[in-house]
Structure 1
Amino acid sequence: MRALPRFYPIFDRAAWLERMLPLGVRLVQLRIKDLDFAGTRAEIRDSLALCRAHNATLVVNDHWRLAIEEGCDWIHLGQEDLDTADLAAIRGAGLRLGLSTHDEAELARALALSPDYIALGPVWPTILKQMKWHQQGVAKLADWKARVQDIPLIAIGGLTIPRAAEAFAAGADVVSVVTDITLNPDPEARVRAWLEAVA
């Protein structure tokens, strides 16, 4: 399995990609939760064009039908998304699949689907969204890596640059970052620091 870039930021608009891809980001997720169908399609289309122009990989969160229609290469599904997604259609369209996991049952479900990566979170407490899982911890990352073996493991939730080293040491292959960038007063400088730290 081809190795993924070690740095994986998540943004909610193509405008973020326009700012960050020129800095060297090569793997990015578009996570849209607040737009209508047409608006979401437009953001996916613009994001895909930007990624192709910068030789980057776009992962679309949740919106698998639009990802197929727009010719995307990757989809990320949460456990709730899995309940309604047409996995045969996703695989039939050639999309690669990333899955979120939080506990043993979800990991077993994910492994049964042979995904192209597995995410564990929140490794540290996160302010991004309310979750029943408060903090998974780095020890759980090590346990997950032993179970997923060659499948790339993504650490997400509360990541900062110093914590990234802990995540990698525990077995994470990739670190995923949201608010450490989007809430930073200088997001571009923060992304540059991230890229230097994970190089």
Structure 2
Amino acid sequence: MKLDPFYLIVDSAAWIERLVPLGVKLVQLRIKDRDEDELRAEIRRANDVCAVHGCQLIVNDYWRLAIEEGCDFVHLGQEDLAAADLLAIKYAGLKLGLSTHDHAELETAMAAEPDYIALGPIYPTTLKKMKWAPQGLERISEWKCQVAPIPLVAIGGLNPERIDGVFEAGADSAAVVTDITLNADPEARTREWIEKTKKWR
């Protein structure tokens, strides 16, 4: 399986409606602390937009809703992985992405036979408090050797200036959150990311 090198992560369908039409081909909807009806409505809206624009939608955490809403990709953190019904996900035909931060988590993730592995944080990140130190580019190369041919997603503190180094180290896709959503001009920054990742397609 091949992932688009530009992997956008946002927390609402509104962001997807705003940015996906610019040419985004891979986006994760990562929403926290909403009730099920709201979550379902957000997933449905996001799915509709992505279908129109030929964008791959990845739903974070909520694998049951992803199945019910006919999505085709789910991403799980390690805690969610422990509680998820992997057989149900597989039988529904959903592809699976998993987060990893250390060797133990990588071992757990690989046992689940995912469609991609994410490694982070590569650089210091402001998004959430991390108990892990920044992984650095060498860890990308190490992880890629262990997960290949499964695609490897790098995440954490990435920006257009750091993209080339991440891909040269072995990542297949670069995930971004705050560099776009906290930017003064998210649309312009999105276009910059698309342009910068074109050569890695």
Q: Shorter-chain-normalised TM-score: which range?
A: over 0.9
* 1:38 Cα deviation after fit: 0.9
Distance 1:197 1:43 in 2: 29
* 1:134 Cα deviation after fit: 2.5
Partner SS for 1:50: helix
Q: Deviations over 1:101-135 (max 9, x none)?
A: 00001111111111100000000011111110120
Tell me which residue corresponds to 1:130: 129
Tell me which residue corresponds to 1:98: 97
Distance 1:170 1:52 in 2: 32
1:188 aligned to 2:187? yes
Tell me which residue corresponds to 1:142: 141
Q: Percent identity?
A: 62
1:86 aligned to 2:64? no
* 1:180 Cα deviation after fit: 0.0
Distance 1:172 1:34 in 2: 31
Tell me which residue corresponds to 2:55: 56
Once the two structures are superposed, the pairs formed by residues 11-160 of structure 1 within 5 Å of their partners are: 11-160=10-159
Q: Which amino acid aligns with 2:33?
A: D
Q: Deviations over 1:38-92 (max 9, x none)?
A: 1111000100011001111100000001000000000000001011111111101
Partner SS for 1:118: strand
Gaps of 5+ in 1: none
Q: Which amino acid aligns with 1:132?
A: K
Structure 2 length-normalised TM: 0.97
Deviant stretches of 4+, over 4 Å: none
Q: Which amino acid aligns with 1:90?
A: I
Structure 1 length-normalised TM: 0.98
Tell me which residue corresponds to 2:162: 163
* 1:190 Cα deviation after fit: 0.1
Partner SS for 1:51: helix
Distance 1:115 1:144 in 2: 14
Distance 2:33 2:9 in 1: 15
Alignment RMSD, CA only? 0.6
* 1:4 Cα deviation after fit: 1.1
Distance 1:101 1:50 in 2: 29
Report how many residues are paired: 198
Distance 1:135 1:4 in 2: 23
